[in-house]
Amino acid sequence: MSVTSVQVGDKQAYLDQIDKIVHSHTLRKAESLCKLLRYLADHALAQPGVPLKEYQIATEVFGRPEDFDPQADSAIRVQAGRLRLKLLDYYSHEGASDTITVELPNGHYTLSFHHRDVPPPAPMLVPPSLAPAVEEPAPPKKARGLLFAVVALSVLLLAALITIATLYANLNFSRTTRPPEPAAAPSLRAFWSRFDSSPFVPWVIFSNGKFVGRPETGMRYLDPARDSRDLVLDHYTGVGEVLAVHELDQVFGQLHQPIRVKRGSLFSLDDARNNDLIFVGSPAENLTLLDLPGSQEFVFKRIDSGPHQGELGIVNVHPEAGEPATFYPTDSAHPLVEDYAIVALVPGLDPAHHVMILAGTTTIGTQAAVEYVCTNGSVEELLRTLAVPSGGEVRPFEALLRIKVTRGVPVETQLVAVRHRK
């Protein structure tokens, strides 16, 4: 029975059921989902039949600002979808014998509670040797034949019903669930702990350079000295950034933490103050990085003289023995076979937040940088180099990567240098 009016006894029973789910193995470590479930339950029991809006959930549960726009931000729908799957998983395993079920219907944010009868355990069968012998008169031969036919038909009908029910259940299950993501490796969980342990969803900001022209006639980067800003076309980004966002989504799926994705041209400093950020792409295209605390030891710079004039390189601010002062990718007159990229964890504008920078001098270098921090083996190498103890916290750092490229694909990534931030 769905909740429309709640008796005192029922309300306590429903709250006890919510508490049981929150402390179950299914929702263990899913703090944001537990918080959402308790909020939805309190609302459903205190105001039965009153619908909830995404805006209300976003601001009251997840601390979103007052200008939160549900049309442009799907974070609440993502969280509700995750909670819906967790409830299905719970009642398929741990809660299979619970007498109260909790559901979050598709397209709604109002919980419903239902009572159900759990089948009693099957009666114990008494061995024939211990059962008292009772002699009964044998039925007539004709009656025995009719009885046999009825039993046979009943068995066939029962088998058919079981088959139909099983097929329907499997079909319904396949429509509403998906295979669970594999658990993240310990090294990945340690490396991303600052973003995974936060109560807020991290933002992934991908580069989104300013072009003029159109794809069908040719595009080039905006030149502020000669191009009108009315001609800006900022709807395109590199293939490396696209694949990089996919890699991050995979890893954070294993961490059971959603991410929000936003293109750099729509990002604001207000967003930067209130969130943990992961920047994908260099400041040459992710222009918001120019206004934020960024890397200090390895810095992107447009070269203004020499054979690499006009190209983007990475300046080594404090070179150590044997290190060059600047790292250049393959010059633009030849096919790209080598690139360089930065991986940096730096403090955010608000000390409570952090910023991860994953950027190459080209889109291929950016892709390689993200793949490096999303792969167990390479992350283990980085953690060893940073001397992060087991169970310890990754402190701010900057790392430089060299990438070998074959036909537009990063095929090998090498950790070249690491600097600890003070």
Question: Which phi and psi angles does 389 have, rounded to 5°?
Answer: -70, 160
What distance separates the 2 farthest-apart alpha carbons in the chain? 112
pLDDT tens-digit map of 154-190: 666 666 666 666 655 555 544 444 455 567 788 999 9
C-alpha–C-alpha distance, residues 356 and 345, integer Å: 5
pLDDT at 48: 84
Pair 315, 325: CB distance under 8 Å: yes
Sequence spans of domains, the chain: 8-115, 186-420
Higher pLDDT, 371 or 10: 371
Say which residues have a Cβ less than 8 Å from residue 31's Cβ, sequence separation at least 6. 199
Q: Is residue 111 a contact partner of residue 40, using CB atoms and an 8 Å limit?
A: yes
Helix (H) or strand (E) holding 357: strand 354-360
- Measured in degrees and rounded to the nearest 5, phi and psi for residue 139 equal -70, 160
Using the structure block, give the residue that is written with the tokens 């509403």: 176
Tokens found for residue 409: 């694909």
What confidence tens digit (pLDDT) does each residue in 196-220 have? 877 778 989 888 777 777 777 777 7
DSSP H helices, 177-255, are: 186-191, 193-196, 239-254
N- to C-terminal Cα distance for the chain?
Answer: 59
For 306-363, how does the pLDDT look when each residue is reduced to its tens digit (9 = 90+)? Answer: 777 778 889 999 999 999 999 989 887 788 899 999 999 998 878 788 899 999 988 9
Structure tokens at 9: 């006894």
Statement: the pTM of the whole predicted model exceeds 0.85: no
Strand duo 277-280 + 354-360: pairing: parallel
What dihedral do alpha carbons 279, 283, 284, 290 form, nearest 10°?
140
> What are the angstrom distances between the C-alpha of 297 and each of 123, 134, 210, 282?
74, 94, 27, 15
**CA 362 – CA 220 distance, rounded (Å):** 15
Read off the pLDDT of residues 4-39 as tens digits, 9 standing for 90 and up.
445 656 888 899 999 999 999 888 878 889 999 999
Instruction: For residues 59 and 57, give the distance between their C-alpha atoms in angstroms, rounded to a whole number.
Output: 6
Share of the chain above pLDDT 90, in %: 28
- The secondary structure element, H or E, covering residue 146 is helix 141-176
CA distance 259 to 201: 6
Tally Cβ neighbours within 10 Å of residue 312: 21
Q: What is the dihedral of CA 341, 344, 348, 354, to 10 degrees?
A: 120
- Does pLDDT of 415 surpass 90? yes
Count CA atoms within 13 Å of residue 346 on its CB side. 21
Single-letter code of the amino acid located at 203: W
3-class DSSP state for residue 350?
coil
CATH level 2 (architecture), domain 186-420: 2-Layer Sandwich (3.30)
DSSP tag of 300: E
Q: How far apart are CA 298 and CA 316, in angstroms?
A: 5
- Rounded CA separation 360/368 (Å): 8
Cα 168 to the center of its chain, rounded Å: 30
Buried b / exposed e over 54-69, threshold 16 CB at 10 Å, is beebbeebbebeeebe
More confident call, 124 vs 56: 56
C-alpha closest to that of 72 among 210, 274, 260:
260
Distance of CA 359 to the CA centre of its chain: 21
Quick one: 416 exposed, middle or buried, by C-beta within 10 A (0-12, 13-18, 19+)? middle
Three-class DSSP labels, 92-123: HCCCCCCCEEEECCCCCCCCEEEECCCCCCCC
Q: What average pLDDT score do residues 53-82 get?
A: 86
Instruction: Name the β-bridge partners of 302.
Output: 312
Structure tokens at 232: 């800006």
Rounded distance between C-alpha atoms, residue 34 and residue 99, angstroms: 21
